[in-house]
Amino acid sequence: MLRRRDLLAAGSVASLFGLAAPLLAQTKASMPALPPVPQARTFELANGLQVIVLPSARAPIVNQMVWYKVGSADEAPGKSGIAHFLEHLMFKGTPSVPAGEFSKIVARVGGSDNAFTSYDYTAYFQTVAADQLELIMRMEADRMANLIVAEQELLPERDVVLEERRTRTDSQPAALLDEVTREALYGRQGYGIPVIGFPQEIRTLGVADAQSFYDHHYAPNNAVLIIAGDTSGDAVRALAEKYYGPVARKTVPARQRSDAIGQGLPRTVERRDRRVAQPEWSRDYIAPSYRMGETRHAYALLVLAQALGGGQTGRLYRALVLDSKIALDASVGYSPQALGLASFGIGITPAPQRTMAEMEAAARQQVGALLRDGLGEDEIDGAKRRLLAGAIYARDSLSSGPRMYGSTLTTGGTMADVDEWPARIVAVTRQQVMDAAHAVIDDSRSVTSLLLPENG
């Protein structure tokens, strides 16, 4: 699981629009002053669609993202992969945009587009010249309301999804181990089921499954539209009213997340495979998110993860890679952006000739020292600075701001959660970090994962 986690994702939730810079003055770091950036503008259409506008005149381009509040953890039992499968089918046409033409039209005007599915959300995005904003808003609103799910398109696309699973999961030992680890942590439900689905269940997905999922979840009142770039709030409002406004709202099922965890913890899972060139040791602990569990620990856990595993400056890297040289890499991952429970993970890549037993002993020693002696104020301050700096640098991208708002708003958060993130990080105390560490680093609620060569 640690191998797939974006260590900067949670850090870049900080407001990308100028709020982080003044807060840095409250830490012991000095950062260059940033130019002011316009605040996000938000409004809601009569049909329930929330719209966010992030103006930026730095380049004559715009980025549109539509986020749906549905992901793989919302799937019915036995229908794993349907959220991701529908993401593929959304490119298969409407009465006004024939199958396969959506991306071709975007490309013809010099733009790019794509989509992605996660456990809690599904998102679609395009980047085009600013004068093409109306075009992409019209087409995205069209497929929100008028998708055609046809068998002649579905069957070959199902084969594409199965091939994607073979390429990205079944042929990757680390990915296969990740699946086993998640199931051990969460059980065979929700976050314990792979986003892409189990192959035996993907093969059974048909037109009725895709149509039902679309009909139940793809609605303006279950979506967030985010426009970033060279435009204005007034311009976006006019276009949103024109194209998205007529899309009818629907009755959307309530979202459920279980706080159940895997059976028989603690557990050790391993994957031995002839394709493994580099062994890895990791341990994942059940942890709270912003929305579930002991949520008061979430911000402190972000600081803890950065202090322990923030690249070459993190305590684990310094101790295991630079000082003792028993490891090639050491990192920590934690992302609280979820509707359900999260995980806090430690990962170590052993140096040649070093064993997994040595990695576990080293991890235990470091964790024991942390829980016994705590972190220094300099380590806490450094972690905060790195988290805030990551947010500041991320703001230069037209995709980073929309992604932070989108992932927050589709997992039960608010605009304030994004805008106030830097202040909440700065406010974390050393005592809060230690309280969070003692609450979460509990071997009785953990899964240890071993990735090994076939004969290792």
pLDDT digits (tens, 9 = 90+) for 29-60: 443 343 344 578 999 999 999 999 999 998 99
Residue 276 shares a structural domain with residue 209 = no
In a domain, 147, yes or no: yes
Query: What pLDDT shows up at residue 398?
Result: 75
pTM of the prediction? 0.92
Using CA atoms, how far apart are residues 154 and 209, in angstroms rounded to an integer? 11
342: confidence class by pLDDT, cuts 50, 70, 90: very high
Average pLDDT, the chain: 91
Query: What pLDDT shows up at residue 309?
Result: 94
What's the distance, CA 86 to chain centroid? 19
Cα angle vertex 455, ends 450, 456, to 5°?
A: 45
28: confidence class by pLDDT, cuts 50, 70, 90: very low
Give the type of residue at 196: I
Query: What pLDDT shows up at residue 188?
Result: 96
In a domain, 229, yes or no: yes
Query: What pLDDT shows up at residue 261?
Result: 96
Residue 305 shares a structural domain with residue 192 = no
Query: What pLDDT shows up at residue 375?
Result: 96
Using CA atoms, how far apart are residues 273 and 257, in angstroms rounded to an integer? 34
Query: What pLDDT shows up at residue 394?
Result: 61
- Mean pLDDT on 76-93: 98
What's the distance, CA 318 to chain centroid? 27
In a domain, 255, yes or no: no
Boundary of a domain, candidates 208, 243, 278? 243
Using CA atoms, how far apart are residues 160 and 8, in angstroms rounded to an integer? 31
> Which ranges of 147-278 does DSSP label H, i.e. alpha helix?
151-165, 173-186, 199-202, 207-217, 233-243
In a domain, 7, yes or no: no
The total of structural domains in the chain comes to 2
Residue 340 shares a structural domain with residue 412 = yes
9: confidence class by pLDDT, cuts 50, 70, 90: very low
Residues carrying an active site annotation: 87
95: confidence class by pLDDT, cuts 50, 70, 90: very high
Query: What pLDDT shows up at residue 33?
Result: 40
Residue 313 shares a structural domain with residue 439 = yes
Query: What pLDDT shows up at residue 3?
Result: 45
Residue 328 shares a structural domain with residue 416 = yes
Residue 211 shares a structural domain with residue 323 = no
Using CA atoms, how far apart are residues 405 and 123, in angstroms rounded to an integer? 12
Longest dimension (CA), the chain: 65
Residue 177 shares a structural domain with residue 273 = no
Backbone angles phi, psi at 455, to 5 degrees: -110, 20
Quick check: 21 pLDDT over 50?
A: no
Percentage with pLDDT > 90 across the chain = 86
CATH of residue 199: 3.30.830.10
Burial class from Cβ neighbours inside 10 Å (0-12, 13-18, 19+) for residue 332 reads buried
Using CA atoms, how far apart are residues 427 and 436, in angstroms rounded to an integer? 14
Give the type of residue at 68: Y
3-state secondary structure of 38: coil
What's the distance, CA 173 to chain centroid? 22
Residue 171 shares a structural domain with residue 312 = no
Query: What pLDDT shows up at residue 86?
Result: 98
Residue 148 shares a structural domain with residue 281 = no
Residue 424 shares a structural domain with residue 355 = yes
- The range of the structural domain enclosing residue 170 comes to 48-243
pLDDT in tens, 365-417: 999 999 999 999 999 999 999 999 887 766 656 778 899 999 999 999 999 99
279: confidence class by pLDDT, cuts 50, 70, 90: very high
Residue 211 shares a structural domain with residue 283 = no
In a domain, 23, yes or no: no
Cα angle vertex 36, ends 30, 42, to 5°?
A: 125
Cβ neighbours around 275 below 10 Å, total: 11
Name which of 20-34, 74-88, 330-344 the model is least confident about.
20-34
- Mean pLDDT on 168-194: 97
Residue 162 shares a structural domain with residue 307 = no
